[in-house]
Amino acid sequence: MIERIPFGNSGHESTRMIFGAAALGGMRQDRADKVLEVLDEYGINHIDVAASYGDAELRLAPWLKTRRNDFFLATKTGERTAEGAKKQLHASLERLGVDRVDLIQMHNLVNEDEWEVALGPGGALESLIEARDQGLVRFIGVTGHGTHVAARHLSSLERFPFDSVLLPYSFSMMHGEYADDFEALYALCRERGVAMQTIKAIARRRWRETDDGKRFSWYKPLDAGDALNRAVHYVLSRPGLFLNTSSDATLLAIVLAAANEPLTQPDDDDLRGDTEAQGIEPLFVRGVSDQV
């Protein structure tokens, strides 16, 4: 079974692989049920969903009727005002068919203007704190994309003691200013006991118009094989990091199988070789492609 470690200071021992339920967003219920069965094969006990992930919350609801206590359940709100976040959280609870979630996260909070609104008077954070006081949520986190997200998370943690953060982490992303910001954030999270979730480990690059095949994620992922295995181990060989699975459900069992193998720190030369052979490119480049 995949290793479990404390999810920050939550008191919950979460599997280091977290199921990214965006994979369920466009599925029929019968297909979603089969995907969810894979979680049990590897002992996954932590689910990450969001209000904006299509019908993902609805696809989880039938399963959670009998399995709610088996999982640490997280969702996200993209609303920036207190009223909007409150309404969206209650809608998520209804869609999920639960009376509380373990973690509510402010979704992709990177833009400075949105950040000021969400964390300011009348902002989303106020309603999430209220929801925590009411027992509707247990913990509050923040997520983001792009090359500015690590620095923004540092600012967020100075403003409020968030319980978790989520951001990209891969060999191709770890250079320049982003790497410096990530390392500073990693050190602070380790010091404070903030859970650190990572995404996009198995991304190859952004899709091109000439690419063939179905697109189950907004980026082109690595295919099954040694390069994918090394990409997963690059994250999990780092103490304390969690890895959220891709929205491409066809790779779920493959990624979980890679994570289930004994962890080894990939050699940098091998990772550079994968970068060249697979045509791996950073998904986010400052000043060029910082948006999803």
pLDDT value at position 52?
A: 96
Average pLDDT (166-192) is 97
Residue 146: half-sphere exposure toward Cβ, Cα within 13 Å: 19
Report the greatest alpha carbon distance in the chain.
52
Tracing tokens 């950040």 back to the chain, one arrives at 115
Contact 15, 43 (CB under 8 A): yes
Token pair for 272? 């550079």
Task: Name the β-bridge partners of 281.
Answer: none
Task: Give the pairing of strands 13-15 and 4-6.
Answer: antiparallel
Average pLDDT (97-105) is 98
Contact 249, 260 (CB under 8 A): no
Q: Which helix (H) or strand (E) holds 107?
A: none
- Between CA 21 and CA 282 the distance in angstroms is 23
pLDDT value at position 214?
A: 83
- Between CA 35 and CA 249 the distance in angstroms is 7
Contact 169, 235 (CB under 8 A): yes
Q: How confident is the model at residue 211 (pLDDT cuts 50, 70, 90)?
A: confident
pLDDT value at position 177?
A: 95
- Residue 209, burial from CB neighbour count under 10 angstroms (0-12, 13-18, 19+): exposed
Q: How confident is the model at residue 8 (pLDDT cuts 50, 70, 90)?
A: very high
- pTM (whole model) above 0.75: yes
Q: How confident is the model at residue 145 (pLDDT cuts 50, 70, 90)?
A: very high
In this model, does residue 1 exceed pLDDT 90?
A: no
In this model, does residue 265 exceed pLDDT 90?
A: yes
Token pair for 126? 């106020």
- Between CA 260 and CA 199 the distance in angstroms is 18
pLDDT value at position 285?
A: 87
pLDDT value at position 288?
A: 78
Average pLDDT (132-143) is 98
Give the tens place of pLDDT for each residue, 266-286: 999 999 999 999 999 999 988
In this model, does residue 246 exceed pLDDT 90?
A: yes
Could you state, in order of their start, the residue ranges of all structural domains in the chain?
Answer: 4-278
Average pLDDT (66-93) is 97
276 Cβ contact partners less than 8 Å away, ≥ 6 residues apart: none
Mean pLDDT value across the chain: 96
Contact 159, 10 (CB under 8 A): no
Residue 174: half-sphere exposure toward Cβ, Cα within 13 Å: 17
In this model, does residue 226 exceed pLDDT 90?
A: yes
- Residue 260, burial from CB neighbour count under 10 angstroms (0-12, 13-18, 19+): middle
Question: What percent of the chain shows pLDDT beyond 90?
Answer: 92
- Between CA 182 and CA 166 the distance in angstroms is 11
Classify 259 as helix, strand or coil.
helix
pLDDT value at position 266?
A: 97
CA end-to-end span of the chain, whole Å? 33
What is 4-278's CATH number, 3.20.20.100, 3.40.1650.10, 3.40.50.150, 2.60.40.60?
3.20.20.100
Q: How confident is the model at residue 100 (pLDDT cuts 50, 70, 90)?
A: very high
> What's at 273, amino acid-wise?
G
What is 117-140 written as a DSSP string?
HHHSTTBHHHHHHHHHHTTSEEEE
pLDDT value at position 12?
A: 98
